């Protein structure tokens, strides 16, 4: 039931982001010259690296889910033996990658604000920060969820099916956030 509820909730989140995409394209169609001027300020290579980190974190998250499904909460060998990692190690790596993504987004915001791209400045700044900012809030929510799952693995005396389901549900959310970012990255950084 938890997985079904999560999928239904993610469907509503999909509608939320669809509305943001619609707003972005609507405002963009009204002022194409504003978009041409402001997109020139974007650091596409930096954003591509940041995107790659986030997308790869989806793979590390899924490896953590596979470990949870095997009932392997911790590593079965040394830290450098990645093949024997458990849920904890994969989720910690995923958390770190997600935190790097958020840090990269904050750095990008600082650079764009320095260039004069702000919310009150024009429609481009408003839509850029709304779309990427709401996504960043969702990534932060995913990072908090990872902390809860990890915390449960350290507190519980034994790893249960419910903990595995929690890890799976968090992975659904994380994969959703990654897919949304791929759409945002393509829309904001690649479509000129």
Between CA 140 and CA 142 the distance in angstroms is 5
- DSSP-derived letter for residue 84 is G
Query: pLDDT category, 188, cuts 50, 70, 90?
Result: very high
The yes-or-no verdict on residue 81 having pLDDT over 90 is no
Query: pLDDT category, 77, cuts 50, 70, 90?
Result: confident
Which one, of 128, 108, 2, lies nearest residue 50 by Cα? 108
Average pLDDT of span 9-36: 91
Domain ranges of the chain: 2-18+35-190
What ranges make up the beta strands (E) of the chain? none
> By percentage, how much of the chain surpasses pLDDT 90?
72
Q: Which residue has the higher pLDDT, 19 or 77?
A: 19
Q: What is the CATH T-level fold of the domain 2-18+35-190, as seen in this structure? A: 1.20.120
Between CA 43 and CA 26 the distance in angstroms is 23
- CB neighbours of residue 170 within 10 Å: 24
């Amino acid at each position: 039931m938890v997985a079904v509820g999560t999928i239904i909730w993610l469907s509503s989140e999909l509608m939320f982001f669809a509305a943001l995409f619609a707003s972005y394209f609507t405002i963009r169609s009204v002022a194409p010259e504003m978009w041409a001027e402001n997109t020139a300020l974007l650091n596409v290579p930096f954003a591509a690296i940041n995107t790659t980190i986030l997308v790869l974190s989806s793979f590390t998250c899924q490896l953590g889910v596979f470990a949870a499904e095997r009932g392997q909460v911790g590593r079965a060998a040394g830290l450098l033996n990645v093949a024997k990692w458990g849920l904890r190690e994969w989720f910690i790596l995923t958390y770190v990658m997600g935190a790097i993504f958020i840090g990269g987004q904050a750095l990008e915001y600082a650079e764009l604000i320095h260039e004069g791209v702000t919310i009150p400045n024009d429609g481009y700044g408003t839509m850029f920060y709304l779309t990427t900012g709401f996504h960043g809030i969702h990534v932060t929510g995913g990072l908090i969820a990872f902390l809860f799952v990890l915390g449960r693995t350290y507190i519980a005396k034994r790893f249960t099916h419910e903990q595995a389901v929690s890890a799976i549900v968090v992975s659904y959310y994380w994969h959703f956030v990654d897919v949304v970012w791929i759409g945002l990255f393509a829309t904001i950084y690649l479509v000129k």
